[in-house]
Amino acid sequence: MKSFGLKLSQLMKKNNMTDEQLAELLSVSRTTVLRWRNGERSPKMSKISQIAKILNVSATYFIDENESYCPEDHAITKRNIPIYGTIAAGKPIEAIENVIGDIQVPDIILDKYGFEKLLALRINGDSMNRIVHDGHIAVLERTTNINNGDIAAVLINGYDATLKRIYKTNNRIILEPDSFNPSIHPLMFDCTDIENCPEIKVVGKYIWSCAPIQ
């Protein structure tokens, strides 16, 4: 499959999906996805079928040179989860009333995380625009279990949620932007445990994003 890597890269770019996101959904390593995209390895057919579902094309698109995008004909079953415009501090997720709409989520995400564990947040700003663009919708897993390098939505000092990469050192929590804007800098907090840091409250872990249909 000479062109598999190129097609995969194009579809991932179109869907604003990173190597680590796809790897998480497929339960493979980020290096494996990178090798697929670079043409160093080819996935098994079972994985190609899963990739096709995630990226909303037919599996034959990756095999037949004449196959084109066909999201309508090969659309997968989806369910809707709520989109929050902002998330206020001091309130549990269940008590928030500012739902601005809903979003269709692929079954593979629902199967992996469960409907009750998902929510979506409209992104404001460009601090993570290498990953999620301003105005796009980020889907989150409701969890406070965050590892180094994970992207998470967090409340900072009682303000609305912001999306950042989380890094933990021996004496600091660092919220790192992933942006093309050089004027945006990391935020640092003198905490050793993110779950017990008074200035930070984790809302959820970033899973997937998409552009809203206008």
State the Cα–Cα distance between residues 51 and 143, nearest whole angstrom: 25
Contacts of residue 117, defined as CB under 8 A and 6 or more positions apart, other chains included, come to: 141, 142, 143
User: 199 with 191: CB under 8 angstroms?
Assistant: yes
Catalytic residues: 127, 164
User: 11 with 21: CB under 8 angstroms?
Assistant: no
User: 202 with 141: CB under 8 angstroms?
Assistant: no
Helices 19-26, 30-38: crossing angle, 10 deg rounding: 110
User: For residue 207, which of 125, 105, 116, 135 has the smallest C-alpha distance?
Assistant: 105
